[in-house]
Amino acid sequence: MVTITGINFKNPTMLASGIMGTTGASLLRIAECGAGGVVTKSIGPEPKAGHPNPSMIKLECGFLNAMGLPNPSYNEFDNEIKLARSGTDVPVIASIFGGNAEDFVKVAEGLADSEPAAFELNVSCPHAEGYGATIGTDTCMVESITAAVCDAVDVPVWVKLTPNVTDIKAIGKAAQDGGADAVVAINTLRGMAIDINSGYPILGNRFGGLSGSAVKPVAIKCVYDLYEALAIPVIGVGGVSTWEDAVEMMMAGASGVQIGSAVHESVDIFSDIASGIELFLQDKGYSAVEDIIGLSHKVI
């Protein structure tokens, strides 16, 4: 068990936002597959169709996606959270987005009735103009939006950060100053692929966000830096596909580890990684996961 921002998780793995999180049934399926927690697809103030297809492509080193925040809005999504919650004790975290503090508060208040365990603020989607990283690269906006949501809700507020900045620590500090209970690092890295036969950018949006194994070393460094700079917990995400990756992320400073792209391989990944961590702890004589969180900062 691990407690993060006052929420108990049976193991440190969580479903990352954006994958299998668009319905209550799919969230429930992942919960039943052994995830310690599940995070919804990002939900906004108005229904949004998203970017034109192709919106996701597989590369050798991971995935490029530019979904464009498709979602039915908070009005249509609260029932999905209720459905997921009614079938499981696994904490359900609501990922939300907006273009300003007012939007974020509207969505958080609109979903409060479905009682998510926490809100994860998406200020990091790299390809939706006016949303996501447009906000998450500005320390003032991150601080004020975080403060507004923290004021409006009575559950923990996590802030998901973009790596597409010069100094992620400054953005993490802004979230912390706004009252965030935790930061989540990292969202996808901006990227692009071009079809050499036609010269066309492949994604409908022309560019998108890179996820998967390729981004893991970037995520490890961001988590490492944030752990050192902040007093609040860091939740790690980015390229984790094995229990060894999860242990590495925790040693960098992650209190929990979210998994996204690797769900493509198998939904059993959560129980596989959770039991791999457990066996590693036993083998090495650690008494709890807390023993390895931030360990790489303590060795000389």
Q: Considering the complex, what minimum distance in angstroms separates the CB of residue 187 from ligand DHB? A: 5
Q: Considering the complex, what minimum distance in angstroms separates the CB of residue 262 from ligand DHB? A: 16
* 260 has binding-site annotation: yes
Nearer Cβ to ligand DHB (40/255): 40
Cβ atoms of 156 and 6 within 8 Å: the answer is yes
Q: Considering the complex, what minimum distance in angstroms separates the CB of residue 132 from ligand DHB? A: 6
d(C-alpha 196, C-alpha 183), whole Å:
39
Cβ atoms of 214 and 61 within 8 Å: the answer is yes
Nearer Cβ to ligand DHB (114/188): 188
* 67 has binding-site annotation: yes
Nearest of 93, 98, 101, 83 to residue 41 by alpha carbon: 93
Nearer Cβ to ligand DHB (176/188): 188
Interface ranges with ligand DHB (CB under 6 A)? 18, 42, 65-69, 122, 124-125, 132, 187-188, 209
Cβ atoms of 30 and 85 within 8 Å: the answer is no
Structure token digits, residue 205? 């949006």
Residue nearest to ligand DHB (CB): 67
Is 61 assigned a catalytic role?
A: no
Q: Considering the complex, what minimum distance in angstroms separates the CB of residue 145 from ligand DHB? A: 15
d(C-alpha 277, C-alpha 272), whole Å:
9
Cβ atoms of 66 and 43 within 8 Å: the answer is no
* 261 has binding-site annotation: yes
Nearer Cβ to ligand DHB (67/180): 67
Residue type, 223: V
* 216 has binding-site annotation: no
Residues belonging to the active site: 125
